[in-house]
Amino acid sequence: MEQVRSVLDRTDPAGEIARVVADVSNWGRWGEDDVRGTLNHVTAADRARAAGLVRRGATFSLSLPFDANGPQKGWRRRTNPVHTMLDTGTDAEAGVQGFPHGLGGADDVIAMPLQCSTQWDGLGHIFDHGRAWNGRRAGQVVTSDGDLVTGIETVADQFVGRGVLLDVGRVVGARLGYDDGLPDGFAITVEHLEATIAEQGETSAVGRGDFLLVRTGQLARAKRDGWGEYAGGPAPGLSFTTARWLHEREIAACATDTWGFEVRPNEFDVAFQPLHQVVIPNVGLFLGEMWDLDALAADDAADGVHDFLLTAPPLPVTGAVGSPVNPVAVK
């Protein structure tokens, strides 16, 4: 298999974005007041069926640790979490906490950007020509008070359903002779997604209401070799040309093991995250980034089953445009 680079006019990002938006826009699909976007594709019946995928009770956390050793380097004031103890065991031993009859305790606080590690992008995170999800004016949605309309708290109970892991890094990487996942700058096209589904088998079929997880293998390299340029640098990722496929499949959300979800550098001569610009404000698609899919992928390869119950609720931070998450896959 050769890497398929679907035809794009790389000199005309604005035109390409406009053409794709015209085909995939979901504005008004679920009413003018909608805040759920593609999460509307998931029904109660879908979640009940997803619960039936649990066979062994095996659980996999898909989150990176939230600590000072994370991938962030300060771009746009994104830092790694700062964890501070307020009360400690040494305070208890010293008897300085003021509690009666020998009681002691520990307490702590954490300060961090909401998108510094494993996280969801909310619908207020990205705008297209000054418009937010469902055609609303960006300035009327997100202000200094936060996201007043589509804050992440509005969908805090919606991220539960059938998860599907496509290990493109393993399947396509092996076919192309990459023994370490997909290389940085590799654009994952529809052909690569379909080839992975075909090789992994029927449990990899992707359809309405599914939570799609795409593994590239980049995070495994970063965990082994150091963060390097992981945060914001070159990376494998989804091609801009997958926008129509993501829309047609009616998935609920999509997450990858990379910092920026889509291929970096982006596929146009001058661009910054054009796939984000299409799918978040226009399709209403929630994106997950920096998910640790390695242990789940290894189990899938051994088990031969690539779907599972996924629970990945965001923290209901009022007005937030994104949220840390500890996704858990249950098989």
- Give pLDDT, residue 331: 98
Question: Would 5 be classed as within a structural domain?
Answer: no
Distance of CA 310 to the CA centre of its chain: 13
pTM of the model: 0.96
Question: Would 7 be classed as within a structural domain?
Answer: no
CATH number of the domain encompassing residue 325: 3.50.30.50
Q: Which domain holds residue 130?
A: 13-74+113-330
Q: Where are the alpha helices (DSSP H) in 65-158?
A: 89-94, 138-141
The pLDDT confidence band at residue 7, using thresholds 50, 70 and 90, is confident
Question: Would 8 be classed as within a structural domain?
Answer: no
221 in the same domain as 107: no
Question: Would 2 be classed as within a structural domain?
Answer: no
Question: Would 234 be classed as within a structural domain?
Answer: yes
The pLDDT confidence band at residue 3, using thresholds 50, 70 and 90, is very low
Question: In 10 A of CB 303, how many CB atoms?
Answer: 15
Q: Tokens at residue 247, please?
A: 């829309």
229 in the same domain as 98: no
For 50-86, write each residue's pLDDT tens digit. 999 999 999 999 999 999 999 999 988 999 999 999 9
Question: Would 6 be classed as within a structural domain?
Answer: no
CA angle 49, 54, 60 (to 5 degrees): 120
For 204-251, write each residue's pLDDT tens digit. 999 999 999 999 999 999 999 999 999 999 999 999 999 999 999 999
126 in the same domain as 90: no
Question: Would 213 be classed as within a structural domain?
Answer: yes
pLDDT over threshold 60, residue 319:
yes
Task: Say what percent of the chain tops pLDDT 70.
Answer: 98
- In the chain, the number of structural domains is 2
First to last CA, the chain: 31
Question: Would 183 be classed as within a structural domain?
Answer: yes
